[in-house]
Each structure stands twice: as structure tokens, then as C-alpha cells.
Amino acid sequence: MKYKVLLLSIALLSCFSALFYTLSIVASAGTGCGTNWMGDTTGDTDFSVSKNQNQGTTSGASSAATTASKPAVALGSTGTKAVQSAGIDSLTPSPASPQKPGTVIVWTAGATNPGTEPLLYDFLLRGPGTDGLLTDKTGWTARNSWTWNTTSADAGDNQVEVRIKYDSSTDAVASKTESFSVSSAAQDGSGAQDSSAATSSETAGSGVAESTNKATATVVDSTATTANAHPESKTSGSTDSKPRVAPDEKTKATSTSIDGVNMNMPDPIPKASAQNTAEMTQVPPSAATYAETAEPKVMEVDGKWTVRLEDAASSMDLILIQTGKSVSGWGNLEEKNTKLPLIATGSVSDNSINLDIKTVVGEYVNKVDKRFKIDLVKVDRVVSGSYEAYSGEDLSGKGKATASRI
């Protein structure tokens, strides 16, 4: 009986164990249902799924089309073309450096203007005549040249600068500088060459004369020796009473007259020719001779001037450049709060100035055509005279004019 109960207990225990094991397996299977095979991805933001990931090359074609619709631009380019500015190609003096003081030098600037707006030029000078300071010589002007009348104060190294700007601008867009030497040595070169040539000629002439003199003396000595070599041929008498002398001890004749066969020999002493005597008596020209041929002095008008037309209530600011008796220049006419550009030509004498002044007429400058004829005379320190004003070809007014240097 005991054995039966024991077996029954073991069987029940086995059943309970099997049931418990089964329930454990089921619970474990229920825990794994619906879990993620990649593990816990909570908070993972690097993982995304596109709704178009299975559309093949559709997105690539769209991107290519978008790229093709935009023009290609070179690396570093802004896509817009830079606007070119005016520049100065050359600044040329005529005549070239170096030159002596008093020479008139014309400076000409060559500029490139890619636009249509006119350019203005400004010439400046730095040198001994300006105490080393850069000095404005013309102001802004439409002319691309400047005439420089050098003086002894300009002797040395100088620098000329030109600047350009557009008519509507206030700042220069380009500049160029050239050096120029004013030296008195430039005028002495030819004189030194002439002096050297004259010295060489005189040396050569004296050498020829000296050679000729030596040759003449040699001939005379030889003739004298020959005449005395045979004393027995003389007709003066016997030679018995005369001492015998060896040929090498005989003295050479110094007399200009020789006894014997050759009775009269020419004087071996060279004499100055008539041509040499005339050259020696020439007198160099005096300073008075040069003074007689000097040109009369004329009035110096270089620089800036103000001319007032009294009856017209207007004035002119002019810059005049003088070349001998000729005058040229430019400036502005101030009339009724307006400024009109001017150009001037004329002549000058010892105490008077005659000017023909016109307004500059152009599409971009001015359309008012005016002309002025001005005759001025200098009395003491006052320069005054009269003027005539024309509008086109018609006389529009006349009156008194006065001028003063600025």
C-alpha cells in the first residue's frame, strides 16, 4: 500500500512539473511577440524612411532637369562684366630731355576712353622751380597738352604729372608721371666739340710748320757743307795760308749768304704767310654786336588772369600760355551765375595784349556761341583797354575792359 501511495505522489509531482514547464514556455513566447528585430531604437533620429525610396530614377531626372535649366557660372565670377575705366597711355615731351633753360617744352598726354563722356586733363609740376612741391599748372581742362616755358629756376631734375577725370566726376581716374632734366650742359656740348676740333687743327698745323722748318734747315746745312767740302774750287785765291781742318771739325754756316758756286741761298728762317697774319689780326665780335641783333623784349603774360568786362557785368578767368609773341589759353566766362568754357588766341608786344576769345561749343559742353575781341595796354602796373562782344556774327556789345594777374 505504501508503495502505491509513493508512486502516485511521484506521478502527481511529475505532472505538476510538466505543467509548470509548459506554462513557462508559453509565457516566454508571449513576451517576444511584436518586438523590433533591430533592438531598441527609441530616440534614434538618424533613421528615416522616404516615401519615394522605391521610385527608381525619377528624383535623379528631376534634379538633372533643374540643374540643366540654370546657366553655368565660372568659379570666382560675379556673373556681371566689370565696367572699364579710362586710362593714360603716354605722357610725351617735345623736345625730349635734357634741354637748356629757356626752352619751350610741349607735354602731350595720350589717353584711352572706352566711354562716351569727355575727359578732362590736369598737368602738375614738381622741381627746383616749385621748391620741390607738386604744383598745379593748368587746372582741369579739355586740352590734352601743356606748354612749359622753362627758366633758369627750373635747372635740375623735374617731374611732370598728368591726371584725367570724367567731366561729370570730381575725382581723378588715372595719372602718369614722367621725369625731365633742365641743364645748361645741354647747350655747351656743341661748343666743346668745336673748341676741340679747332685745337686739333691748330696742333696739326703747328706740327706741319715745325716739320717744314726742320726740313729746310737740314737742306741749308747740307748745302753749306757741300760748298765748303772743296775749298780749292773757290776763285778767291790759294788755300795755302789757311789752316787745314778735318771734315768733321768744320763749322756749319750760319750766314744767309754763301760764297762759292751758289752765291745767294734763300733765307731758311720761316716767315708767316699773309693768311696766317690775317687770321691773327681778326678781332672776336664784341658783346655790343650781339646786343644789336637781339630781339626786342615783349610783355610776359604767362599765368592766370582775370578780365572784367565792365559794361557787360561779366568776367573771365583765363590761363594764358606765351610762345614768343603768340598767346594761347583757355578758361571760363562767368555771366549771370553761369560758367561757359572758353578758348583764347592772340598776340603780345612790349606793352599790349590782343586777344580773340570764343566759347567752346559742343554737344556735351555748351551751345551758346559767343566771341570777344579784347585789346589791352599796360600803363605802369595797370592793364586796361576795350572789348567788343559778338553773338554769332552780330555785334552784341562793347565797352571797357580791365585785366589783372592772379
Domain presence at residue 204 = no
Domain presence at residue 167 = yes
Domain presence at residue 146 = yes
Last residue of a domain, one of 142, 171, 186: 186
What is the per-residue pLDDT for 324?
A: 87
Domain presence at residue 257 = no
How many structural domains comprise the chain?
Answer: 2
Domain presence at residue 105 = yes
User: Is the overall model pTM greater than 0.95, yes or no?
Assistant: no
Strand partners, 135: 125
Last residue of a domain, one of 186, 203, 226: 186
C-beta of residue 165 within 8 angstroms of C-beta of residue 109: no
Q: Domain containing 132 — which CATH number?
A: 2.60.40.10
Domain presence at residue 253 = no
Domain presence at residue 64 = no
What is the per-residue pLDDT for 346?
A: 94
What is the per-residue pLDDT for 233?
A: 45
What is the per-residue pLDDT for 167?
A: 92
Is beta strand 135-136 parallel, antiparallel or unpaired with respect to 174-182?
Answer: unpaired
CA distance 386 to 374: 6
Last residue of a domain, one of 186, 214, 237: 186
Q: Which domain holds residue 106?
A: 87-186
Domain presence at residue 28 = no
Q: For each of the chain's 406 residues, which pLDDT tens digit applies?
A: 667 777 888 888 888 788 877 777 655 555 544 455 555 555 555 545 454 555 444 444 444 334 444 444 444 444 444 457 899 999 999 999 999 999 999 999 999 999 889 999 999 999 999 999 999 999 999 999 999 999 999 999 999 999 999 999 999 999 999 999 999 776 554 444 444 444 444 444 454 445 445 544 454 454 444 445 444 444 444 455 555 655 655 555 444 444 555 555 666 666 655 555 555 555 555 555 554 555 567 888 889 999 988 877 789 999 999 998 899 999 998 887 788 899 999 999 988 999 999 998 877 777 788 899 999 998 888 899 999 999 888 898 899 999 998 8
Strand partners, 182: 99, 156
Query: Which of 16-29 are b and which e, b meaning 16 or more Cβ less than 10 Å from the residue's Cβ?
Result: eeeeeeeeeeeeee
Cβ burial of 331 (10 Å; 0-12, 13-18, 19+) is buried
End-to-end CA distance of the chain: 156
Query: Which of 135-153 are b and which e, b meaning 16 or more Cβ less than 10 Å from the residue's Cβ?
Result: eebbeebebbbbbbebeee
Q: Domain containing 378 — which CATH number?
A: 2.40.128.30
